[in-house]
Amino acid sequence: MVLLPGILILFMTFNDLNLIEPILLALQKEGYTTPTPIQEQSIPFLLQGKDLLGCAQTGTGKTAAFAIPILQTLHQQHAERNHKTLKTLILTPTRELAIQIGESFAAYGKGLNLKHTVIFGGVPQGAQVQALRAGVEILIATPGRLLDLVNQGLISFKEISIFVLDEADRMLDMGFIHDVKKVIAKLPLKRQTLFFSATMPPEIQKLANTILVDPLIVKVTPPATTAETVGQSVYFVDKKDKRQLLTYVLNDKSIERVLVFTRTKHGADKVVKDLEKVDIVAEAIHGNKSQNARQRALSNFKDGKIRVLVATDIAARGIDVDLLSHVINYEIPEVPETYVHRIGRTGRAGASGIAFSFCDSEERTDWKNIEKLTGQKIPVVTNHPYPMAAEGMVHINPPKNKEIVHRPNAIHSSPARKRNPNFR
C-alpha cells in the first residue's frame, strides 16, 4: 500500500506480503517493486500452507509466485530441520523451464542458506547425482530423469512437504502425463500441492481434482498491458515475399535480439534455411529438436552469439530472455490470444519492445481477430518494398499489361501495385 499526501492509493507492494528481509532485498535487486496479480493473490495463502490451482502461464510471474513462499517457508523451518533432506519437488516439462526455475530460486533465495538443484534428461547423470548426494532441499526436475534417478534409489521423497506441478497441460501435450502420475503416486500424502496449468483440458482438471485439497483457485492471463509497452506494426505482404521482407527488416542493425514466430516446426526450419542463404545466422527451437540442440540455441541467443531465434509457439512458451528487443510474427497466429503472448516476450518488466507482424491475404481474418481482441488498430507499415498485391488496387490502378489478370488472392504483383502504398 502506498500513501501520498491527501491521497490514499491502494496498490500492493512486496512489503505488504509479510515477506522476510532477505527475500525483500533479493526482489529489490531483481528490480521488482509490485507483485503481479498471481503473486499478490497466491503468496499470502501459500505462506499459510494452502494448496493452489493456478491457471497461469509463463509471463504472469508464476515462478516467483511459488518460489518466494517456498523459500520463505523452508527458511523458517530451517532451524528445526535437516538441511540436506529433500523437502520440495518442482516438476516441470522441459529442460529450459527447469533451468529458468533454478535461476529464479537462485535469485530470490540469494540471502538464504537453502540448497537447490536442477535435473533433466539428455545429459549424463553424473554431475546431477553428485549435486543430489551433496544434499539439497529443493529439487527442480523434468519427469523422465527424475523417475530414472528415483528408480536407481538416488532420490528419496520421504520428507517432501511441498510439491509443485508446473505447466500440467504441457506435460499432457508432450506425453509426460503418465510419468507425472507415477511421480505423484510416490509422494507423501501429507503435503502442500501447487498445480499450474495455462489451460484446463478435462484430463488435467481431473488430475487437479484428485491431488489438490481445498485449493485456492487463481486465474490470470499474461498482462494485456504488455501490449502497451510494445510498439506494434503490421506489414501486409504476399506469402511468397515474406522471405525477402524478413531479410529486409533484419538489415536494420538496431534489431539486436529478435524472436521470429512461425506456426509450424517445418516453417521454423525453413526460415532458418532462408536466412542462412543471405548470411544471417539464425537457429530454430521447436519440439522436434533434441533438448541439447534447443538448449544450445537458447544459450547462443541469450549470450548474443546469434541475433535471430526462430520458434514455434509451444517451444517459445518457456523462453524467458531479458532484453529481447524485437518479436516478429512471420506467420499470424490463428488464436488471437497467442499474439498477445508472443509480443509479451518483448517489453518485459516495463522495458520497451517492438513487434512486427507479417500478414498475408489468407491471414487477414486472423489479423482482424487480433485487432478485435486487443482493441487496437495496429499501425500499418506502408513504405516497404514488398507490398501485397491487393484486390482493391486493381480497380484503383488497373494494370495496362493484359497478361496480368486479377484473381482474388492471386500470387502476383505488378510494378504499379508495388509503387502504390495504399494496399490496405
Tell me which residues touch ligand AMP (CB under 6 A).
Answer: 32, 34-36, 39, 58-64, 320, 348-349
Closer by beta carbon to ligand AMP, 213 or else 349: 349
* Dist. CA 396–CA 407, nearest whole Å: 15
Closer by beta carbon to ligand AMP, 13 or else 369: 13
Please report how close the Cβ of residue 34 comes to ligand AMP at its closest, in angstroms. 6
Closer by beta carbon to ligand AMP, 27 or else 271: 27
Closer by beta carbon to ligand AMP, 199 or else 401: 199
- SS3 state at 353: strand
Tell me the residue type at 134: A
Please report how close the Cβ of residue 97 comes to ligand AMP at its closest, in angstroms. 9
Closer by beta carbon to ligand AMP, 64 or else 141: 64
Please report how close the Cβ of residue 126 comes to ligand AMP at its closest, in angstroms. 29
Please report how close the Cβ of residue 269 comes to ligand AMP at its closest, in angstroms. 26
* Dist. CA 417–CA 399, nearest whole Å: 9
Closer by beta carbon to ligand AMP, 39 or else 197: 39
Please report how close the Cβ of residue 326 comes to ligand AMP at its closest, in angstroms. 17
Please report how close the Cβ of residue 31 comes to ligand AMP at its closest, in angstroms. 7
Instruction: Output the CA angle 256-258-261, nearest 5 degrees.
Output: 170
CB 361 within 8 A of CB 409: yes
Please report how close the Cβ of residue 181 comes to ligand AMP at its closest, in angstroms. 25
* Dist. CA 172–CA 204, nearest whole Å: 8
Closer by beta carbon to ligand AMP, 32 or else 236: 32
Please report how close the Cβ of residue 350 comes to ligand AMP at its closest, in angstroms. 7
Closer by beta carbon to ligand AMP, 36 or else 295: 36
Please report how close the Cβ of residue 51 comes to ligand AMP at its closest, in angstroms. 19
| Sequential DSSP letters for 34-89 | S--HHHHHHHHHHHTT--EEEE--TTSSHHHHHHHHHHHHHHHHGGGS-TTS--EE
Q: Residue 232, Cβ neighbours under 10 Å: how many? A: 21
* In 218-351, alpha helices (H): 226-229, 242-250, 265-277, 291-302, 313-316, 336-343
Closer by beta carbon to ligand AMP, 43 or else 404: 43
Q: Write a three-state SS string for 359-395.
A: ECHHHHHHHHHHHHHHCCCCCECCCCCCCCCCCCHHH
* Dist. CA 290–CA 307, nearest whole Å: 21
* Dist. CA 116–CA 354, nearest whole Å: 36
Name the DSSP letter for residue 405. -
Q: Residue 29, Cβ neighbours under 10 Å: how many? A: 12
Please report how close the Cβ of residue 71 comes to ligand AMP at its closest, in angstroms. 14
| Sequential DSSP letters for 266-281 | HHHHHHHHHHHHTT--
Closer by beta carbon to ligand AMP, 36 or else 346: 36
